[in-house]
Amino acid sequence: MSENPESTQRNITEPSIMSGFVELLPKEQMIMTRMTDIIKNTFESYGFIPLDTPVLEKADVLLAKSGGETAKQVYRFQKGDSDIAMRFDLTVPLARYVAQHYGELTFPFRRYHIGKVYRGEKPQKGRFREFYQCDIDIIGNGRLGIVNDAEIVSVIYSAFSALGQSGIVNMGDFVIMINNRRLMNGYFEYLGIDNTVEVLRSIDKIDKTGRESVRKELTGPVGIPEDKADSILDLIEISGSPKETVQRLKEMNIENDTFRQGLSELETVCGNIEFLGVDSDHFAVNLKIARGLDYYTGTVYETVLKDHPQLGSICSGGRYDELASNYTKQSLPGVGISIGLSRLFYQLNEIGALDFGGVSTPTKILFIPMADTVSYTLGKAAEFRRAGIASEVYLNDGKMSKKMSYADKLGIPYVAVIGSDETQSGRFRLKNMATGEQVEISCPDEAKKYLT
């Protein structure tokens, strides 16, 4: 470019990105990347395998089922003869993938997928048009044991516990809440109610608007008789420990097979969760959660932060009887959850729950050479790197204060200045940038005693 004689007259294009899209500054991005790593590692510790599908799909395939709101939000365009749609979630591509590669997969197929999805929503605070989802799903071939639903709770528990213990997120306690759609549907059947989606949509609001408001909606627009509305409200307000809740549901002696099946599933899930090491403070049965607009058929999950309930569910999902009925006649039941990571990150940042002091550049030691020690210092850094200590050499000229300030700004925890004395003795001082303390060392093993 410098070879171009016109470059000095070149027009400057104002750099900017589109509204509804986001990019982070380094300190934020480092936290975001660490959070992603933690979630990925948790998923892998349960044996979920990675999956990656194209961001662009054939529009007619991706949108085989979708209508209404979803279709309107999809980024869809033509290129050449292709009618292209950008994925709007990771579940539809999963369904397409499992149907397409059915014969080549080993079931149960347990996959995780962390990737960007696209929705042309009206931009608003904390809602993005491009955002990360972190999904896990377990897909059975024909059937999938209900104990898988308990394991999903344990994965959510492990992921948020690991985030909480990482020192980069101070989000306080969380609670994973479950319900069972079969149990709810069975109860509606038992009451002779058939507009279940409307009912679920209505009761989903109870924590926001209160019992009376929901009762009015149920008995008014939804058209439920008063006694039945009260029965529904009584049911969903059952509380207590998971065991107590299951016990109370049993004592209702509801004569309906769907209800009984749902209750039995709920009992099995609750019964296994304690063995999975999920702290009882972090798990609850909540018959109010319905996820009415989703296609779940059994267990449903929501996760809330105790200190920040206004954030809503930070991790949701459920059991579905047929994952891929649009793409195959194979019966592929599944259970899964999704963490909306971009939104979670944004919200945690907004409430001040990200600990920027706890994160730094990957670099552990910044080596600062003097003019005549550059080569030696490069070798020293290479030696430390080989020993597993991420190391960086400051390779620009400038005042020492500027070099120190570079370490400070990036949050590099240790600095070592290498002058000619150091190259002769082979020993140098490692300065802790937080405390100012210095220790003299010569090799990576010595350094490891001090590095945190």
Pick out residues in 103-142 that bind a second copy (CB under 8 A). Answer: 104-106, 108, 110-111, 116, 118, 120, 129-130, 140
Would you say 338 and 135 are in contact if contact means Cβ atoms under 8 Å apart?
yes
According to CB under 8 A, which one of 125, 253, 255, 396 is a site residue for a second copy? Answer: 396
Would you say 254 and 187 are in contact if contact means Cβ atoms under 8 Å apart?
yes
Instruction: Please say which residue, 49 or 434, places its beta carbon nearer to a second copy.
Output: 49
Instruction: Please say which residue, 220 or 398, places its beta carbon nearer to a second copy.
Output: 398
Which are the contacts of 63, defined by CB distance < 8 A and separation ≥ 6? 70, 71, 74, 76, 85
Would you say 189 and 256 are in contact if contact means Cβ atoms under 8 Å apart?
yes
Tell which positions 230-269 bind a second copy, by CB under 8 A.
none
Tell which positions 267-306 bind a second copy, by CB under 8 A.
271-272, 275-277, 295, 297
Reference 325, options 92, 71, 145, 70; nearest CA is 92
- Give the separation between CA 189 and CA 401, rounded to whole angstroms: 74
Instruction: Please say which residue, 238 or 378, places its beta carbon nearer to a second copy.
Output: 378
- Give the separation between CA 421 and CA 427, rounded to whole angstroms: 9
Instruction: Please say which residue, 200 or 215, places its beta carbon nearer to a second copy.
Output: 200
Helical H segments across 333-419, by residue range: 341-350, 374-386, 400-410
* Residue 156 Cβ vs a second copy, minimum distance, rounded to whole Å: 13
What is the chain's Cα-based Rg?
A: 27
Instruction: Please say which residue, 97 or 174, places its beta carbon nearer to a second copy.
Output: 97
Tell which positions 30-69 bind a second copy, by CB under 8 A.
30, 32-33, 44-58, 60-61, 64
| Span from 11-19, 168-176, 248-256, 425-433 in contact with a second copy (CB under 8 A) | 11-19
* Residue 181 Cβ vs a second copy, minimum distance, rounded to whole Å: 9
Would you say 336 and 90 are in contact if contact means Cβ atoms under 8 Å apart?
no
Tell which positions 345-364 bind a second copy, by CB under 8 A.
361-363
CA-to-CA separations, 392 to 254, 259, 409, in angstroms, rounded = 67, 62, 14
Residue 343 binding a second copy, by CB under 8 A: no
Tell which positions 149-178 bind a second copy, by CB under 8 A.
150-151, 154, 158
Tokens standing for 34?
């660490």
* Residue 197 Cβ vs a second copy, minimum distance, rounded to whole Å: 9
* Residue 190 Cβ vs a second copy, minimum distance, rounded to whole Å: 16
Instruction: Please say which residue, 48 or 187, places its beta carbon nearer to a second copy.
Output: 48
Going residue by residue from 190 to 229, which x/- string records binding to a second copy, judged by CB under 8 A?
----------------------------------------
Q: Find tokens 């897909």 and name the residue.
A: 139
Residue 399 binding a second copy, by CB under 8 A: no
Residue 371 binding a second copy, by CB under 8 A: no
Q: Phi/psi of residue 378, each to 5°?
A: -60, -40
Residue 308 binding a second copy, by CB under 8 A: no
Tell me how far apart the terminal alpha carbons of the chain are, to the nearest angstrom.
44
Tokens standing for 157?
């528990």
